[in-house]
Structure 1
Amino acid sequence: MKKVISGIGLLAFFVLFLAFSAKAQNEFPSQIWHKGNVYDTDGQGFSGLLKYDLDNNLIQVKGDVIQTLTAANVSFFEIYDEVYGGIRKFYSLPYAINGDYETPVFFEVLTEGNEIALLCREYIATDARNLNTMGGMGMNPFFGPQTMMGYRLAFNYYFFKNGRIERYSQKKRDLFEMLPGYKDEISLFMRKNRLEHDKRGDLLRITAYYNELDSN
């Protein structure tokens, strides 16, 4: 009898563990709490669990209480993404999302060099192709599409160059305008490594390669 009870207890624990794991995997990164650090505009830093909202340029910090901070109050924050792995860094930078009026906006920095940095802002988009599917996530969001119940994680990309933030159209011809001077070298690098002009991980590699070329 004790063995049966013990077996049931282990089974219940296993089911709960699977349910917790599935819940973590079935949420987008902006929907969960991450361990991280925040630095305000005065340079003061503090740590806690962080949840970010790029649509509204807000972050929440969970300590003894939950604090809500805006991009106007924060200069930089970083999180450790335990689901997908790695440290992700976000800066508050002046940018006009709508119209000509610049306000502090959170951008994730993917890679940076002496002249050019690649930035991005993620968002959750409707994916009509997956509206009728019942599967969970698909692929790592850093290197390919991530889908969940008819939604997918998408990105807008930006290049910080010449002291300005320029939005990238995700058209291949515009990539060479954003990264001028090395079209032949970049084209060869993309072909050899089978890189796409509109994927997060590929863009990161392309920009890092450009910065290496530009530093020589």
Structure 2
Amino acid sequence: MKRTILTLGFLFLSLVYVLAQNNQFPSQVWHKGNIYLNDGATLSGTIKYDLDNNMVQLQTENVDTFTASNVASFEIYDEIFGGVRKFYSLPYAINGSYETPTFFEVLTQGNDIALLCREYIATDTRGMNNSWGGMGMNPFFGPQNYSGYRLAFNYYFFKNGRLELYSQKRKDLFAMLPGYDEEIDLFMKKNRLEHDKRGDLLRITAYYNELQN
């Protein structure tokens, strides 16, 4: 009887831990992963990232902090939503005209164009019953709303050697992916894809790269 109670107690505590983890955004928890430094070194452990400040922390016996200036890239296994996520440090002017090393997550890439993003936590003004739609191929499969906040994204296309911010307007999507307007429009209608959803944009960009080959 005692063993049964202890087992149930352990399962309850485990469930509470999982629920607590799931009530946090990915940037607020530690993930297993690797950091690849500019000098060629690879560091492995548990990782927490901060895109607002372009920093990544590595926890082994101690906690070490690295900036985008020191890091070429890093990757994590996101246990909240599942899937491996990869981030690269690229020169970009987030504010003003001065370019500094900045972390971007790569969603999909081809020979001609890559789709990247930067996540941020936004106030949810749309109600608490919304969930991510059109997730498609992206690694996130959980809800985006937590206590009045949601995970939001800015998207960027990397082409011709430069990063371009995507306005998330339909007409600008075709400008970012030129030359195949009819094919992309048909692909979006056939698969019911939106022009401003993470998973849908991933699929559209991957399809565009296929058309280019």
Give the alignment's TM-score, normalised by structure 2.
Answer: 0.92
Answer yes or no: is the 8 Å Cα contact 2:85–2:105 preserved in 1: yes
1:159 alignment partner, SS class: strand
Answer yes or no: is the 8 Å Cα contact 2:82–2:140 preserved in 1: no
2:126 alignment partner, SS class: helix
Q: Which residue of 183, 190, 204 maps to 1:185?
A: 183
Answer yes or no: is the 8 Å Cα contact 1:79–1:88 preserved in 2: yes
> Cα distance 1:143–1:83, how it changes in 2: closer, same or farther (>3 A)?
closer
1:10 alignment partner, SS class: helix
Q: Where do 1:1-216 residues align within 5 Å?
A: 3=1, 5-130=2-127, 138-139=131-132, 142=140, 146-215=144-213
2: distance between equivalents of 1:109 and 1:204?
10
Q: Which amino acid aligns with 1:42?
A: D
Percent of residue pairs identical: 67
1:98 alignment partner, SS class: coil
By how many angstroms is 1:144 displaced? Answer: 7.9
CA RMSD of aligned residues (A): 1.8
Bigger Cα Rg: 1
Q: Which runs of 5+ in 1 are unaligned?
A: none
By how many angstroms is 1:73 displaced? Answer: 0.4
Q: Which amino acid aligns with 1:167?
A: L
Aligned length: 208
2: distance between equivalents of 1:32 and 1:39?
20
1:129 alignment partner, SS class: coil
By how many angstroms is 1:143 displaced? Answer: 6.2
Q: Which amino acid aligns with 1:199?
A: K
By how many angstroms is 1:18 displaced? Answer: 1.5
By how many angstroms is 1:138 displaced? Answer: 4.5
> Cα distance 1:87–1:21, how it changes in 2: closer, same or farther (>3 A)?
same
